[in-house]
Structure 1
Amino acid sequence: MQSNGIAKDPVIQRQHFLNVPFDIIKFDDVVELIAATRNADGFRYVVTPNVDHVVRLSAHAELKPLYEAAWLTLCDSKPLVLLARAMPLKLPRVTGADLTACLFGTVVKDGDHIALVAPNEAVVARMRAKFPRLSIGAHVPPFGVGNNPAELAKCVDFVVREKAAFTFLAIGSPQSEKIAHAIAMDGRAVGTALCIGASLEFMTGMKRRAPRWMSRAGIEWVHRLATDPKRLWRRYVFSVLPLLRLTLAEFRQRRTARVPASR
């Protein structure tokens, strides 16, 4: 479903894996596509689901339309890539952190106007210090904005007013996705919005990403758990069984689909 008026490149194939949509498009092609459409009419948004998103969607089906309506939905998880490969399904990995850093290094140009929906004022200050040649508009919504219609409407109005080429929604999931979907449904905004989690904090040095070798090995979650155990241990522990159930169900479904019907 494309509600934003921007046609998806016809060569991009959208697959559903673990009941979540994913676009089969490589990192460089994502960057090229975003660059090529930066002046397109209308509004579009990009989501980057990982294991946490997948498990949440399995329990809250009402969130699935937020992902189905996205212009691009990109896999931000090496464990999901490895699970997909066992199906077999080739799922490219495009992390929100890597994509954000690349866009600021290539597609976002000096003098551009961008908009931030940020977790706090410190992130905004760091971004303005790091990119003094950009015009940066910012809005810091209160905690729980995703369940507060009045505050959600303020986020929509902010993005509409800014008319930015790029909007970075950096307040975590599913708040960022709810805001992006609400903007798309409103119909007045322009530009490309990206739901990119803590990417701005990584880029400004406020948080440290896992070493590259851990990311390549698919154990980036170990680094995150070690740096924030009180907040994350429960999330990771309680994600294991739902993810296992979803994977087994996916495998059975795909195996059944491959078996020819008996005559």
Structure 2
Amino acid sequence: MPAAKIPLLNVEIDNISSKQLLAQLKSGGFVITPNVDHLVKLQNDPEFFYIYQHADYVVCDSQILIWVARFLGTPIQEKISGSDLFPAFCQYYAEDETEKVFLLGAAPGVARQAQLNINAKAGRELVVDTYSPPFGFERDPQECEKIITLINQSDANVLAVGLGAPKQEKWIYRYRQQLPGIKTFLAIGATIDFEAGNVRRSPQWMSYCGLEWLYRLKENPKRLWRRYLVESLPFLGWVVLQRFNRYRYHKPLALILHDAGLLSKDQVEQLLTEQVRLTKENAGKPPDEATLLNQYQWLKPETIRFFATEFEQLLKQSAHPPILDLLQQAQLLTLDQCQTLQHESQLAALPPEQLAIQKEWFSPQTVRFFQQLQALVENPQDQRLEQLFFVSPTPL
């Protein structure tokens, strides 16, 4: 039975025990371990948000999130941080000769030392190979191809990536299809350093008290002060908004259009990657989604404008437009096409949208989306339908 999902801001965390997770990972999966830093990044990084939707397991990496979930009335049963999960995984599968790990990350020599330490504990060659990539490797296609070749030649079926978030999650998602031998993908942050003995973890009592961030800040203030003392400040405000049913995260426009059957998966990924790149170039200021999408000329500007702005105006109207009117407003049907459908619908005694599918004017997915949109216009308070455009966790 799938684990229950705990909504926390714009993600859903699997309410699962470490014992259950370890057993289920025998079948593989992509594991992400969110903490406060992840949730902050997820508010402004649409590509990271998109990748979260494709993870097989999203498990709680933070004692603070444990307390937050309790405050929201939806307790999470266990904290499963990447730095706890990976050694537990190695111990759990120490005697299972079919499980073989490749370590990707950390500074030169560190991953190799971690390999020696892990294999000594396991009593076998559990970690079969490692690689410490150079800085900026993710932007070098040749370097990434080299890494893919190393992993595929290693005989590993588990890939543990310790590059920091969101780089590690993005790299896994981008290249997982080119790694046919890997069934389990673990995003593990600084765990390789911990396993090598290169970096000390915070004392257990600090982790239990939710103060691991303070220990890490003390150890590396130059790198982490901004993350913990500036960027994370809005987090508690968002939590309070969720507690009182006021938190809303507007889905990236590309994902809405994908849900409507108007953009392919490849187009979405291309657009989100470009959006993140431009945001970095503009000192953190994201580009206008509609303007960026118009540059690709995949859709009519009127269609993009409808999804970007006009649907919210529909929610404020008292009139409830028929589905053909909505499709026409989105410039997915012309006036002549609407009139043709209405005429043929009367003759064939079939809904006009079904006739449009038969004519291959658009896909069944698009029709389903607009049927839901029509229902949302009729009942704008229905939070289930609001999920078409927003992530808005269900209130208590």
TM-score of the pair, normalised by structure 1 = 0.83
Matched, 1:142 2:138: no
Residue 195 (structure 1) aligned to one of 158, 183, 187? 187
Match of 1:121 in 2: 108
RMSD between superposed Cα atoms in Å? 2.4
Distance across 2 between alignment mates of 1:47 and 1:247: 21
Deviation at 1:144, TM superposition (A): 2.6
Match of 2:83 in 1: 97
Query: 1:27-38 alignment to 2 at 5 Å?
Result: 27-34=18-25, 36-37=26-27
Aligned residue type for 1:87: L
Residue 48 (structure 1) aligned to one of 18, 27, 33? 33
Match of 2:57 in 1: 72
Deviation at 1:126, TM superposition (A): 0.7
Distance across 1 between alignment mates of 2:151 and 2:129: 9
Deviation at 1:67, TM superposition (A): 1.5
- Is the 2:105–2:131 Cα contact (8 Å) retained in structure 1? yes
Deviation at 1:254, TM superposition (A): 7.3
Query: 1:188-227 alignment to 2 at 5 Å?
Result: 188-227=180-219
Distance across 2 between alignment mates of 1:21 and 1:155: 31
Deviation at 1:156, TM superposition (A): 3.8
- Is the 2:243–2:395 Cα contact (8 Å) retained in structure 1? no
Q: 1:106 to 1:249 in 2, by over 3 A?
A: same
Deviation at 1:214, TM superposition (A): 0.9
Question: Greater RCO between the two (CA within 8 Å, min separation 6)?
Answer: 1
1:44-73 CA distance string (max 9 Å, x none):
311111111110111112211211111111
Q: 1:104 to 1:127 in 2, by over 3 A?
A: same
Aligned residue type for 1:100: F
Aligned residue type for 2:218: A
Distance across 2 between alignment mates of 1:177 and 1:210: 24
Q: Which moved more, 1:228-237 or 1:106-115?
A: 106-115
Residue 241 (structure 1) aligned to one of 228, 233, 238? 233
Residue 167 (structure 2) aligned to one of 167, 175, 182? 175
Q: 1:66 to 1:153 in 2, by over 3 A?
A: farther
Distance across 2 between alignment mates of 1:16 and 1:98: 23
4+ runs deviating over 6 angstroms: none
Distance across 2 between alignment mates of 1:245 and 1:157: 45
Q: 1:241 to 1:128 in 2, by over 3 A?
A: closer
Query: 1:242-257 alignment to 2 at 5 Å?
Result: 242-253=234-245, 257=394
Deviation at 1:167, TM superposition (A): 1.2
Deviation at 1:184, TM superposition (A): 3.2
- Is the 1:163–1:191 Cα contact (8 Å) retained in structure 2? no
Matched, 1:166 2:158: yes
Deviation at 1:236, TM superposition (A): 0.5
- Is the 1:49–1:76 Cα contact (8 Å) retained in structure 2? yes
Match of 1:109 in 2: 95
Match of 1:4 in 2: none
Q: In percent, how many aligned pairs have the same letter?
A: 30
Q: 1:172 to 1:258 in 2, by over 3 A?
A: closer
Of structures 1 and 2, the larger Rg is shown by 2
TM-score of the pair, normalised by structure 2 = 0.57
Distance across 1 between alignment mates of 2:31 and 2:155: 17
- Is the 2:4–2:14 Cα contact (8 Å) retained in structure 1? yes
Unpaired runs of at least 5, structure 1: 1-9, 39-43
Unpaired runs of at least 5, structure 2: 248-382, 384-393
1:169 partner SS: strand
2:109 partner SS: helix
Q: 1:163 to 1:233 in 2, by over 3 A?
A: same
Distance across 1 between alignment mates of 2:144 and 2:153: 14
2:64 partner SS: helix
Q: 1:46 to 1:101 in 2, by over 3 A?
A: same
